[in-house]
Amino acid sequence: MSARDGLKPAASSQPSGGRALKVAVLAGGRSSEHDVSLSSGAAVRDGLRSGGHEVVWVEVGRDGAWRRDGEGEPLSATPGGGLLGVDVAFPVLHGRFGEDGTVQGMLEMLDVAYVGSGVAASALCMDKVLFKELMAAAGTIPQVDYSDVREARFDADPAGVLAQIAQLGLPVFVKPTHLGSSVGIVKVTAAEQLEQALRGAFAHDARVIVEAAAAGIEVECGVLGSARGERSESSAAALASVPGEIVFQGDFYDFEAKYEPGGMELLVPARISASATARVRELALEAFARAGCDGLARVDFFVDGERVLVNELNTMPGFTPTSVYAKLLAASGVEYPELVDRLCRLALERHAELGARAF
């Protein structure tokens, strides 16, 4: 199998990517996923240290201030001046003000290499509606049916909006457009519940997406690499992991199922056919490339027999060694210390490539 197939020989626990790096791990943040981010960041820190790298811990408070080691005065930054003398930043930040292009833009202004997708791809994938519109424009990526609802339009014409949503049938899932980790999601099983669900979602976001229920099981696939590998002999193509199946106890895969102990179980490989597995990996790579992603992503699917639907793409998934993304890559031969090392190397490669271009 090639790297594109997502399989490779098992790696040793010690990365062999070259010289040791000085890495700033950014964790915390202003979003509702602050605590999840701290757990992810601590795991990344430990993984980098086990690979021989020097780590500078930068904690982003709920107030938005950046503090080295989470203490003392907030850090000051100068455009073009770098960040604490590090080689690369690893922003393990989930949700708004971290995964949505804002921190990526700041790191661009500081002229610091950073792990993960750039400004445009991060913002795009954080917006569930824009992501779906881009995938629909491709014409080759099947998706769950959905309706885009703006608060101002709902206030002006609630009956018209409800009639539009009714075409999706029941049940439907009401989601704030810009939140991650299943925050604010409500399953609606009766028409009379819909208005209340929309109002609740509008408390989080002025734009809401309503998705039709999809048959089948939830399957997730990790992507590691860069779309640059498709056009550069010096870069390997992105690889798609072995797909995993999400098994949960509740009515749907909500926040509690994701983060409460025993809330979900990951089965690797997923219990789907060989042809559906190949299709999941193919679509994961296509969605990754079309969205302009870099470094990593987790792409989520519904699989019903041979029918595979793309649900969404997460540019900075949970990152502990027991998180879905890390487990999927480990099952594909990339152990945790090598994973975080390779992501830093990819970030440096992209930064060097961009620096060589004329603006």
Average model confidence (pLDDT) across the chain: 89
Closest CA to 101 of 83, 78, 79, 118: 118
Q: Of all residues in the chain, what percent carry a pLDDT higher than 90?
A: 79
**Cα separation of 325 and 340, whole Å?**
12
Tell me how far apart the alpha carbons of residues 64 and 38 are, in angstroms, rounded to a whole number.
14
For residues 36 and 312, give the distance between their C-alpha atoms in angstroms, rounded to a whole number: 19
Q: What is the CATH number of domain 146-212?
A: 3.30.1490.20
Mean pLDDT of 182-198: 88
- Whether 208 and 177 have beta carbons less than 8 Å apart is answered as yes
* CATH superfamily entry for domain 3-139+215-355: ATP-grasp fold, B domain (3.30.470.20)
At 354 the pLDDT is: 87
Known catalytic residue at 298? yes
| Res 178: pLDDT | 87
3-state secondary structure of 265: strand
Catalytic residue of the set 181, 226, 311, 323? 181
User: What does the domain layout of the chain look like in residue ranges?
Assistant: 3-139+215-355, 146-212
What was the pLDDT predicted at 262?
60
Q: Hey, is 139 helix, strand or coil?
A: coil
Q: Which of 47-51, 93-97, 118-122, 255-259 comes out lowest in average pLDDT?
A: 255-259
Active site residue 311: no
Taking only the tens place, the pLDDT of each residue in 282-313 is 999 999 999 999 999 999 999 999 999 999 99
Identify whether 314 is a catalytic site residue.
yes
300 is catalytic: yes
Query: pLDDT tens-digit profile of 4-35?
Result: 444 443 333 334 458 999 999 999 999 888 99
CA 278 from centroid of its chain's CA atoms: 21
User: Can 318 be counted among the known catalytic residues?
Assistant: yes
Cα separation values, 275 from 138, 140, 280, Å: 22, 17, 9
The dihedral over CA atoms of 69, 225, 269, 318, expressed in degrees to the nearest 10, equals: 20
Catalytic choice (312, 335, 338, 349): 312
Res 236: pLDDT: 60
Q: Which residue is catalytic, options 32, 33, 37, 254?
A: 33
Among 259, 282, 286, 292, the one annotated catalytic: 259
**Given this model, what pLDDT does residue 182 score?**
55
118 is catalytic: no
d(CA 9, CA 160): 56
Question: What are the Cα distances from residue 16, in Å, to 3, 20, 115, 193, 334?
Answer: 17, 10, 18, 55, 12
Check residue 265 and give its pLDDT: 92
Residue 1, pLDDT > 60, answer no
User: Who wins on pLDDT, 122 or 180?
Assistant: 122
Active site residue 205: no
Q: Where are the alpha helices (DSSP H) in 191-237?
A: 194-202
Residue that wins the pLDDT comparison between 235 and 159: 159
In this prediction, residue 231 carries a pLDDT of 42
Are β-strands 217-226 and 244-248 bridged in parallel, bridged antiparallel, or unpaired? antiparallel
